[in-house]
Structure 1
Amino acid sequence: MKVNKIKEAFNSFLEKKVVPLDKKIIIAIFALVIILPTIAFYFLHYTAKTKEIRGLESQAGKLRKEIAGAKARAARLDEHLAEMEETKRLFAEASILLPQKKEIPSLLTNISALGTNSGLNMVTFSPGGERRQEFYAEIPVTLKVNGPYHNIGTFLYEVSKLDRIVSAVNITLGAPAMQRGEMILSSGISLITYRFLEESEIEAQKPQKGKKRR
């Protein structure tokens, strides 16, 4: 009996002294138990990873821009190389038309030979002084020849077929004279041929620093 009384007294003590928890408090405690770890995970792990991802995205954006810039520079380089090749090709073609300085004597000899081979008598063959332009020089040549009219035409035609540029700028036909049953003309022919200026010659034409052109 005493034992039962003790149990009853103890239970009564618990009922009076230990207040049952309200349901709202229980829910709040449960929520804290569940939410607090989630919040801690967000701030400690997810936020850090988000910052890392954003940093990587920023780096990726910069790399994409650098790659795009490199591609653009490569495209421009290809264009420059193509332009350089085109310039080389044009220069090679121009080099055929405009001889170098050392080739001029040979060219003049060829012109004189064409006159003789065309049946003309070369009275005089006089190269004049050069007239320098930006990157080339004009070389005038004055000829005095005797021969039939059609031979003069043949000579000029052969000159026009030369690889080098040789222009006939003036032709003066003298008084005709009958010789051996053929009409012979004493004629004057003015030709101009051209040559490339050497780099040193081009530089020499440029105004020197500190000196003004008059």
Structure 2
Amino acid sequence: MDLSDYKDLTFDNIGDWPVPVKLVTVLAFCAAIIGAGYYYLMMDEYDALAKVEKTEKDLRAELERKQAKAVNLAAYKEQLKEMQESFGVMLRQLPDKNDIAGLLVDVSQTGLAAGLEFELFQPMPEIKRDFYAEKPIKIRVKGDYHEFGEFVSGLAALPLIVTVHDVKISRKKDGGQLVMEATAKTYRYLEEAG
């Protein structure tokens, strides 16, 4: 059989085809069916496998993060305990509403003890912030540098927190004493209910 015999092959006369041609055709047809079945059935499985592998990778990363936290859990708990104790100490250094009047007296007595002469001592309205309130006090005092330093040191030594802001020191117009203008602030913790 030569190639000219294959020209006359049509699907109308499949039964008359030579056996090797029939065999090749059946194998090609089977390969096509297997290939199409593999493509349509297995491609979904490959997509599912890719999704599961990505999920596994994400879960491994999450596990490693959580494991790193778990390893340090004792240290975190210790740090939290220290922070709570520190917060408690600082909270006790903040005045409550009842302490403000006494604190104002302490600030003025600290200035007088340093040898300063008050020209202005004006408590301002309280300013509410996120979880605390500021109580500013405008101050203008006369004295010298050493007395100013002693006053500020005395404020820092008070049992309640007092900070000094906007400090301006100038000499009186007559060339005499120095004048310090400042704003002293104390802070009050706002209760969560209020």
Classify the TM-score, shorter chain.
Answer: 0.5 to 0.7
Match of 1:175 in 2: 171
Match of 1:187 in 2: 180
Amino acid at match of 1:124: L
Query: CA offset at residue 177 of structure 1?
Result: 6.8
**Equivalent residues in 2 for 1:22-33, closer than 5 Å:** none
The whole-number CA distance in structure 2 between the counterparts of 1:88 and 1:186 is 42
**Equivalent residues in 2 for 1:102-181, closer than 5 Å:** 102-176=98-172
**Equivalent residues in 2 for 1:1-214, closer than 5 Å:** 89-176=85-172, 184-201=177-194
The answer to whether the 8 A contact 1:136-1:197 is kept is: yes
Amino acid at match of 2:191: E
> 5+ unaligned residues in a row in structure 1: which ranges?
1-77, 202-214
SS of residue in 2 equivalent to 1:199? coil
CA distance 1:82–1:173, change in 2 (3 Å): closer
> 5+ unaligned residues in a row in structure 2: which ranges?
1-73
CA distance 1:186–1:83, change in 2 (3 Å): closer
The whole-number CA distance in structure 1 between the counterparts of 2:148 and 2:80 is 43
The whole-number CA distance in structure 1 between the counterparts of 2:170 and 2:186 is 24
Identity %: 30
Give deviations 1:126-185, integer Å, cap 9, x for gaps: 111111112111111100111122111110111111222211111112224789xxx511
The whole-number CA distance in structure 2 between the counterparts of 1:135 and 1:101 is 15
SS of residue in 2 equivalent to 1:200? coil
Q: What's the Cα RMSD here?
A: 2.7
SS of residue in 2 equivalent to 1:152? helix
The whole-number CA distance in structure 1 between the counterparts of 2:172 and 2:177 is 5
The whole-number CA distance in structure 2 between the counterparts of 1:150 and 1:87 is 37
The whole-number CA distance in structure 2 between the counterparts of 1:160 and 1:170 is 16
Amino acid at match of 1:190: T
Q: How many residues align?
A: 121
Query: CA offset at residue 82 of structure 1?
Result: 7.3
